[in-house]
């Protein structure tokens, strides 16, 4: 029953998507939004290649990572500190060597705890070449120290971790590894070490969770995979059992049609009302190759809704970052493809029930369309929003050195 989550209302969902596309085409780009580049990457000194999405700490500092470049060519973790004159100071926290400390910090975003420690994973490197899970701890002198919490072996513990980590109230960390397809938990020990426990194993050659997982209010975990029954990905729920094991329920098998394809990279987001939102990178109703992707929603009563189908034109397409909500309930996405200049966009959708009679659910606008020059090109892994509503993100191309920028959009 649950596996056909989106299918029963298929014709209705297609009509909703078409209505939203018309709404977008009639909605102008957001007025008053301006983009400013706050860092231009150089590659050898600060990083290049794949990028982590940005996170903010309580002081307003930004953190992220690049998968290659840096002093040894194996990636970096970086920090940006805001200055009183509205400029930013860029600091490299760690240059990965490609050895025991890891190589190619993977996908998703870093996580930060109450003490200001950063957590993340590298896709490869480490003692077994299968990646590491690391913590970066700040020192009083402004430097940072990397601590390895787990060396992935490629066995039952998995390997090639990529997902965004999350914490529970006890300080345990949850994430995913693509090799052997595992959902794992890292638990702190009194002596400062950490122990990995595999909560669920998809099995080698079965399915692959790429993005991280998210908790609902009841302690269940939700995530996505790459393949599934139709080879286009799944949306799943993990429920804890009394004996400490976890059971998986497939909520939806993506067909690659109007419901989308490949939700595995972007990750999932809950809104304050407990509705679950996600993005597929491909599929949908737009005729741009294999589809430009969709935005979908699952309500607490497990009803699925197709919110939007990207067209690949002014609104962009192929988004690989999660939906992000601001304090007013507007949602944001950053497709790396399309836009007015063909180099990706930042999109914003605002709830419009009762405000615009021609709008069904959301009024969507383009916040910024990248030009592909010094302003950047190909935004990746979504955006981060501060308390003032400023939007931050990373591009993998463009900029003065064509290896990407960090940007700020004010509204």
Q: pLDDT digit string (tens) for 57-90?
A: 999 999 999 999 999 999 999 999 999 999 999 9
What token pair was written down for 322? Answer: 């999660």
From CA 158, how far away is CA 174, in angstroms rounded?
13
H/E segment holding residue 301: none
Q: Dihedral, CA atoms, 97, 178, 52, 374, nearest 10 degrees? A: 100
Is the per-residue pLDDT at 23 higher than 80? no
Q: Which domain holds residue 200?
A: 10-410
- Reduced to 3 states (helix: H, G, I; strand: E, B; else coil), residue 192 is coil
Question: 329 Cβ partners below 8 Å, 6+ apart?
Answer: 271, 272, 350, 351
Residue 4 in any domain: the answer is no
The arrangement of strands across the sheet holding 34-40 comes to 34-40, 405-410, 391-397, 377-385
Neighbours of 195 (CB within 10 A): 12
Q: What is the dihedral of CA 145, 148, 149, 155, to 10 degrees?
A: 170
Cα 182–Cα 264–Cα 304 angle in degrees, nearest 5: 110
Looking at residue 265, what is its pLDDT? 87
> Which pLDDT belongs to residue 52?
87
**Over 90: is that where the pLDDT of 278 sits?**
yes
Average pLDDT, the chain: 90
Domain assignment present for 5: no
- Inter-CA distances, 284 with 4, 84, 268, 392, Å: 17, 45, 18, 27
Q: pLDDT > 90: what percent of the chain?
A: 81
- Domain membership of residue 1 (yes or no) is no
Q: Please say if the pLDDT value at position 168 is more than 60.
A: yes
Q: What confidence score (pLDDT) does residue 209 get? A: 94
Q: What is the pLDDT of residue 44?
A: 87
The predicted structure's pLDDT at residue 354: 58
CA-atom Rg of the chain in angstroms? 20
Residue 332, domain CATH: 2.130.10.10
Position 1 scores a pLDDT of 34
Across the range 170-175, mean pLDDT stands at 97
Distance CA 108, CA 357 (A): 37
Q: How far is CA 15 from CA 19, 141, 315, 317, 326, in A?
A: 6, 58, 18, 19, 27
How many of the other CB atoms lie within 10 Å of CB of 58? 8
- Average pLDDT of the residues in 316-339: 95
| Cβ-based neighbours of 12, under 8 Å, separated by 6 or more | none
Residue 224's beta-bridge partner residues?
A: 235
Confidence band for 353, pLDDT divided at 50, 70 and 90: low
pLDDT for 50? 85
Cα 129 versus chain centre, distance: 24
Per the model's pLDDT, the better-predicted residue between 204 and 405 turns out to be: 405
Report the distance separating Cα 282 and Cα 230, nearest Å. Answer: 14
C-alpha distances in angstroms, 359 versus 20, 209, 293, 363?
Answer: 7, 35, 21, 6
Q: Where are any strands of DSSP class E within 219-361? A: 221-225, 234-240, 246-253, 268-270, 276-280, 294-298, 304-309, 324-325, 331-333, 345-351
- Mean pLDDT over 389-410 rounds to 97
* C-alpha neighbours within 13 Å on the C-beta side of residue 108: 29
> How many Å from the N-terminal Cα to the C-terminal Cα in the chain?
43
- How many structural domains comprise the chain? 1
197 found inside a domain = yes
| 355: pLDDT strictly greater than 80 | no
Average pLDDT for 226-246:
95
CA–CA distance, 254 with 387 (Å, rounded to integer): 35
List the structure tokens of 233: 């990905």
Structure tokens at 361: 């659910």
**Taking 90 as the threshold, does the pLDDT of residue 401 lie above it?**
yes
Tell me how far apart the alpha carbons of residues 289 and 105 are, in angstroms, rounded to a whole number: 30
Give the C-alpha distances (Å, rounded to integers) separating 135 from 80, 145, 149, 223: 18, 8, 7, 23
Backbone angle region of 232, left / alpha / beta, with phi > 0 → left and psi within -120 to 50 → alpha: alpha
Give the pLDDT of residue 10.
35
Picking from 255, 91, 288, 67, the residue whose alpha carbon sits closest to that of residue 160 is 67
Q: Of 45-49, 349-353, 369-373, give the range with the top mean pLDDT.
A: 369-373
Over residues 254-258, mean pLDDT: 93
Kindly tell me if the per-residue pLDDT of 246 is higher than 50: yes
Across residues 10-25, what is the average pLDDT? 34
Sign of CA dihedral 96, 100, 105, 110: negative
User: Is 334 among the domain residues?
Assistant: yes
Q: What SS3 state is found at 389?
A: coil
How far, in Å, CA of 273 to CA of 266, rounded? Answer: 21
> Of the given ranges (68-72, 137-141, 177-181, 290-294), which has the lowest mean pLDDT?
290-294
Report if residue 3 sits inside a domain: no
């Amino acid at each position: 029953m649950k596996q056909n989550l989106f299918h029963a209302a298929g014709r209705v969902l297609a009509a909703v998507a078409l209505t939203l596309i018309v709404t977008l085409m009639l909605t102008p780009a957001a007025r008053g939004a301006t983009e400013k580049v706050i860092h231009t990457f150089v590659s050898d000194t600060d990083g290049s290649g794949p990028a982590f999405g940005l996170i903010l700490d309580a002081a307003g500092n930004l953190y992220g990572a690049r998968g290659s470049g840096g002093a040894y060519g194996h990636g970096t973790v970086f920090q940006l500190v805001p200055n009183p004159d509205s400029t930013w100071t860029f600091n490299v926290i760690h240059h990965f060597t490609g050895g025991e400390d890891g190589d190619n910090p993977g996908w998703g975003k870093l996580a930060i705890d109450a003490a200001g420690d950063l957590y993340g994973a590298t896709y490869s490197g480490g003692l077994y070449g299968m990646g590491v899970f690391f913590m970066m701890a700040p020192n009083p002198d402004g430097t940072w120290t990397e601590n390895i919490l787990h060396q992935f072996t490629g066995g039952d513990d998995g390997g090639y971790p990529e997902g965004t980590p999350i914490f529970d109230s006890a300080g345990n960390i949850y994430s995913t590894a693509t090799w052997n397809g595992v959902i794992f938990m890292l638990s702190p020990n009194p002596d400062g070490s950490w122990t990995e426990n595999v909560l669920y194993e998809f099995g080698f050659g079965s399915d692959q969770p790429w993005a991280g997982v998210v908790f609902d209010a009841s302690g269940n975990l939700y995530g996505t995979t790459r393949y599934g029954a139709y080879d286009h990905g799944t949306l799943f729920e993990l429920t804890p059992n009394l004996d400490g094991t976890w059971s998986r329920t497939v909520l939806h098998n993506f067909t690659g049609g109007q419901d989308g394809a490949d939700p595995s990279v972007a990750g999932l987001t809950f809104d304050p009302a407990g509705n679950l939102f996600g993005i597929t990178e491909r599929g949908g109703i737009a005729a741009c190759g294999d589809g430009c992707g969709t935005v979908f929603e699952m309500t607490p009563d497990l009803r699925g809704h197709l919110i939007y189908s990207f067209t690949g034109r002014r609104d962009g397409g192929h988004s690989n970052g999660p939906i992000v909500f601001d304090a007013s309930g507007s949602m944001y996405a950053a497709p790396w493809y399309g836009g007015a200049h063909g180099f990706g966009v930042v999109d914003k959708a605002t709830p419009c029930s009762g405000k615009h009679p021609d709008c069904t659910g959301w009024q969507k606008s383009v916040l910024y369309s990248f030009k592909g020059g010094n302003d950047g090109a190909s935004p990746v892994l979504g955006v981060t929003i501060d308390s003032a509503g400023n939007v931050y993100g990373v591009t993998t191309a463009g900029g003065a050195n064509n290896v990407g920028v960090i940007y700020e959009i004010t509204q």
